Structure 1
Amino acid sequence: MKLTYLFHSGFLLEADGFAVVFDYYRGGEAILDEVLRRGEPLYVLVSHEHRDHYNPEILTWSRLNSRICYLFPREMDSRSELVHLPNAAFLSRGESFADERVRVTAFGSTDLGASFEVETGGRVIFHAGDLNNWHWTDESTEEEVREAEAAYRAELDYLGQTVARFDVAMFPVDARLGSDYMRGARQFVERFEVGLFVPMHFYPAVAKAEAFAPIARQHGADFVLLSHTGDSVTIQ
Structure 2
Amino acid sequence: MKIQYIHHSSFSVEFEKAVFLFDYFEGELPEFPRDKDMIVFASHRHHDHFDRIIFDLADKYPSVRYILSKDIRMSENYRKRMGIPDETASRITYIGKNAELALMAGGEPLKVETLTSTDEGVAFILQYEGKCLYHAGDLNWWTWIGETEEEYEDMTRRFQSEIAKIKGRHFDAAFVPLDPRQEERYSWGLDYFMRNTDTDQVYPMHFWGDFSVIDRLIADEVSRPYRERIVKIEK
Alignment partners' CA distance in 2, 1:24 and 1:144: 30
Where does residue 56 of structure 1 map in the other structure? 52
Alignment partners' CA distance in 1, 2:160 and 2:151: 14
Cα distance 1:83–1:108, how it changes in 2: closer, same or farther (>3 A)? Answer: farther
Q: What number of residue pairs does the alignment pair up?
A: 221
Where does residue 203 of structure 1 map in the other structure? 208
Residue 39 of structure 1 and its aligned partner are, at CA, apart by 3.3
Residue 101 of structure 1 and its aligned partner are, at CA, apart by 4.0
Alignment pair present for 1:16 and 2:13: no
Residue 45 of structure 1 and its aligned partner are, at CA, apart by 0.3
Alignment partners' CA distance in 2, 1:56 and 1:78: 11
- Per-residue CA deviations over 1:5-58 (Å, capped at 9, x if unaligned) read 0000000111102100000021123x1xx21x6232101000001010001111
Where does residue 170 of structure 1 map in the other structure? 175
Decide which moves more: 194-203 or 82-91.
82-91
Alignment partners' CA distance in 2, 1:212 and 1:220: 8
Structure 2 runs not aligned, ≥5 long = none
TM-score, with normalisation over the residues of structure 1? Answer: 0.86
Residue 203 of structure 1 and its aligned partner are, at CA, apart by 2.5
Where does residue 94 of structure 2 map in the other structure? 90
Where does residue 125 of structure 1 map in the other structure? 133
Where does residue 43 of structure 2 map in the other structure? 47
Equivalent residues of 1:174, 1:201 under 8 A apart: yes
Cα distance 1:112–1:177, how it changes in 2: closer, same or farther (>3 A)? Answer: same
Alignment partners' CA distance in 2, 1:63 and 1:25: 17
Amino acid in structure 1 at the alignment position of 2:188: R
Alignment partners' CA distance in 2, 1:124 and 1:59: 26
Structure 1 runs not aligned, ≥5 long = 229-236
124, 129, 138: which is aligned to 1:116? Answer: 124
- Per-residue CA deviations over 1:89-136 (Å, capped at 9, x if unaligned) read 111123222223422212111010100011111111100000100011
CA RMSD, 1 decimal: 2.0
Point out which structure has higher relative CO (alpha carbons under 8 A, 6+ apart). Answer: 1
Give SS of 1:26's match: coil
Where does residue 191 of structure 2 map in the other structure? 186
Cα distance 1:216–1:15, how it changes in 2: closer, same or farther (>3 A)? Answer: farther
Amino acid in structure 1 at the alignment position of 2:130: G
Equivalent residues of 2:217, 2:223 under 8 A apart: yes
Residue 165 of structure 1 and its aligned partner are, at CA, apart by 1.4
Give SS of 1:118's match: strand
Equivalent residues of 2:123, 2:136 under 8 A apart: yes
Equivalent residues of 1:77, 1:83 under 8 A apart: no
Where does residue 225 of structure 2 map in the other structure? 218
Percent identity of paired positions between Structure 1 and Structure 2: 26
Alignment partners' CA distance in 2, 1:157 and 1:88: 30
Alignment partners' CA distance in 1, 2:214 and 2:85: 37
Where does residue 165 of structure 2 map in the other structure? 158
Equivalent residues of 1:175, 1:209 under 8 A apart: no
Residue 190 of structure 1 and its aligned partner are, at CA, apart by 1.1
